[in-house]
Amino acid sequence: MTGDYGTFKAAAIQAAPVFLNKKATMDKACSLIGEASRNGAQLIVFPEAYIPTYPYWYPEGHALWGRWVYSWRDLLRNSIEIPSQDTEVLCQAAAKAGACVVMGLNERDSLSQGTIYNTMLFIDMDGSILGSHRKLMPTSHERVFWGRGDGSGLNVFQTHLGRISGLICAEHFMVLPKYALFAQGEQIHCSVWPGAPGGLKPSIDAACRCLALEGGVFVIISNGYITEKDIPDDFPYKKNMEFTAFGGSGIVGPRGNYVAGPVYDQETIVYGEIDMGEIDLAKCALDMVGHYARPDVLSLNLNKEPLTHLKLTAARATAPPAESHDLKKAVQDLVVQIREHPYPELLSAAEGLLEHI
């Protein structure tokens, strides 16, 4: 029966960006997309904030009055608006490869121009943008670099490979966003991380294997990788950076087992075969949004309304004189009828309505 289910090859990119250089990093990304495609990959996933880099440095003292503000401005200037000519380049690379691409990038707010988001961009095999997801809650020092996302980006996308979605870094420790994706039918989860700074190595492994088991999904883990030699010597924070982003990319099956990897301490592409039939076998025992769920006991509300800083209220409409006269006459007739029948509880309401016409 295996032949009745789709199978394909997925690729988890584990590569250093060209530090704080958008164009050069995009060129490298397009080259990696081509390489992965030539090796048969139909789903290609890049690490968190790959373009132009994850902020591996920390601000000193009061961030706004130190050198840090200039490094933040460099990150802003090398961030990507969605959509834009930059995303068109990535879309063309995906279309040429005939592959779905999930790109981790720094997104510049196209309206305010002064806020950066940690974003996953989902591109279909035909080069069209499926959507994007902004990290809901930046972690620790990330909060001085990035704004917060909202529920409008918690979506699952139907593709020819299956239903794809993903989360960013510590979002994998947030229980509710994971379930929100499971409940929308996620089958293939793209898990992007900056590497393993601060001793995250065992946490990433546990979080991704647990998510795969809970959701009965495949998890494509793309972990960042960067070394001291990848940072220009004139970058003011180089001496204070912690070079522990040593990878850990891999692919986990829906029963929590590694299909490929994890691979550490090298720049590489991790490939793995995805057999969608394995999902059915996993969900035979545990379907967390089906036969193993109790929505009558526990349920989840997801607010998908985009966060906005401006809400326009339309002016109150005024009825034309003729319509107003007809309405008043109708209410007057209603008052008469109420008085003639035993409905005293409605009389005061009708009289009050009449006073406001």
90: which residues sit within 8 A by CB, 6+ positions away? 26, 29, 30, 101, 103, 121, 123
**Residue 238 annotated to the active site:** no
Angle, CA of 223, 44 and 17, to the nearest 5°: 50
The residue annotated as part of the active site, out of 22, 48, 100, 186, is: 48
Coil vs helix vs strand at 21? coil
Query: Cα separation of 25 and 105, whole Å?
Result: 10
Query: Cα separation of 188 and 172, whole Å?
Result: 14
Half-sphere exposure at residue 304, Cβ-oriented, CA atoms within 13 angstroms: 9
Q: What is the DSSP string of 242-269?
A: ----BEEEEEE-TTS-EEEEEEESS-EE
Beta bridge partners of 41: 9
Query: Cα separation of 93 and 107, whole Å?
Result: 19
Query: Cα separation of 18 and 230, whole Å?
Result: 7
Q: Which two tokens stand for residue 352?
A: 């009050």
**Residue 48 annotated to the active site:** yes
DSSP code of residue 316: P
The residue annotated as part of the active site, out of 30, 169, 190, 208, is: 169
The residue annotated as part of the active site, out of 9, 22, 28, 135, is: 135
Query: Cα separation of 79 and 75, whole Å?
Result: 6
Alpha-carbon torsion 94, 97, 102, 104, what sign? Answer: negative
Angle, CA of 306, 125 and 252, to the nearest 5°: 80
Q: Which two tokens stand for residue 64?
A: 């706004």
**Residue 30 annotated to the active site:** no
Which amino acid, 3? G
Give the catalytic positions in this structure: 48, 135, 169
